[in-house]
Amino acid sequence: EIVLTQSPGTLSLSPGERATLSCRASQSVSNTYLAWYQQKPGQAPRLLIYGASSRAIGIPDRFSGSGSGTDFTLTISRLEPEDFAVYYCQQHNTSPSFGGGTTVENK
Amino acid sequence: QVQLVQSGAEVKKPGASVTVSCKASGYTFTSYGISWVRQAPGQGLEWMGWISPHNGNTNYAQKVQGRVTITTDTSTSTAYMELRSLRYDDTAVYYCARGGLGWYFDVWGRGTLVTVSS
């Protein structure tokens, strides 16, 4: 089983600031199978990024994904009020797994 | 539009079974897999299993293997997740999602709260 470790656990930032979220895998993950999701309280997760760097339909371009192998990054270039949420990385190959999540909170 | 509509909240006693349904619409049901993901209160996301509606193939997470069965009814475009021998720590919101095993989860149901309580 591939274990995904996200850091930091919580990111305290202000609107307009840049957010950098990390996801490290216990073994190499093909870019094809790395995705990022956003979840707000009381809502289902929403797909943000697939294939490590492709934005899902309707996702604004302030969200970007990068990385390869065991290290992946989600960057939010300028935080908007609606971006404060929990973010999960996921590998969806043979036995999908999620990281523990990073909470982006309004400072 | 593409959507997954889940059944309503359930309250079950320890040792009982629960079945949650997930009705798909807006796309060809047999063209995409369906996964089930759960989230305990205040916790992260846990993948439970996957089914291919095309051929009925399944794959389950080791943690719930033996207690979970995922099935589909292609005539109604509905997926089902049965969890048996319920324990208190099975209390969670259960989501169905389109995708799994090589495909990202691009459409999610709203979730079904299952509470295990005596």
Query: A87 — contact with chain B (CB < 8 Å)?
Result: no
| Cα–Cα dist B19/B7, whole Å | 9
Among B2, B37, B38, B45, the strongest candidate for a mutation testing the A interface, having the largest count of A CBs within 10 A, is B45
Is the Cβ of A41 closer than 8 Å to some Cβ of chain B? no
Average pLDDT (A71-100) is 96
Residue pair A84/A73 in contact by the 8 Å Cβ criterion:
no
Mean pLDDT computed over every residue of chain A? 97
* B109 closest CB neighbour out of A44, A50, A90: A44
Closest residue, chain B, to A98 (C-alpha): B45
Query: What is the predicted pLDDT for the residue at A102?
Result: 98
Q: How far is CA A36 from the centre of its chain?
A: 4
Separation between Cα atoms, residue A47 and residue A88, nearest integer Å: 10
Tell me which of A47, A87, A102 to substitute to probe the interface with B (most B C-beta atoms closer than 10 Å).
Answer: A47
Q: Is B110 on the interface with A (CB under 8 A)?
A: yes
Say yes or no for a CB contact (<8 Å) between A97 and B109. no
Assign B11 to helix, strand or coil. strand
pLDDT at residue B7, rounded to an integer: 98
Chain B residues whose beta carbon lies within 8 Å of the beta carbon of residue A97: 47
Closest residue in chain A to residue B93, using alpha carbons only? A44
Q: What is the pLDDT of residues B63-96, one digit of tens each?
A: 999 999 999 999 999 999 999 999 999 999 999 9
Give the minimum alpha-carbon distance from A14 to chain B in angstroms, rounded to a whole number: 24
In B1-118 the beta strands, taken as DSSP E runs, fall at 3-6, 10-12, 18-25, 34-39, 46-51, 58-60, 68-73, 78-83, 92-98, 107-108, 112-116
Q: Which tens digit of pLDDT belongs to each residue from A26-46? A: 999 999 999 999 999 999 999
Report d(CA A93, CA A75) in Å as an integer. Answer: 23
Q: Tell me, yes or no, if B1 comes closer than 8 A to chain A by beta carbon.
A: no
Residue A56's φ and ψ, nearest 5 degrees, are -70, 165
Is A47–B50 a contact, with Cβ atoms under 8 angstroms apart?
no
- What band does B102 get if pLDDT is binned at 50, 70 and 90? confident
* Nearest residue to A88 (alpha-carbon basis) of A72, A77, A68, A70: A72
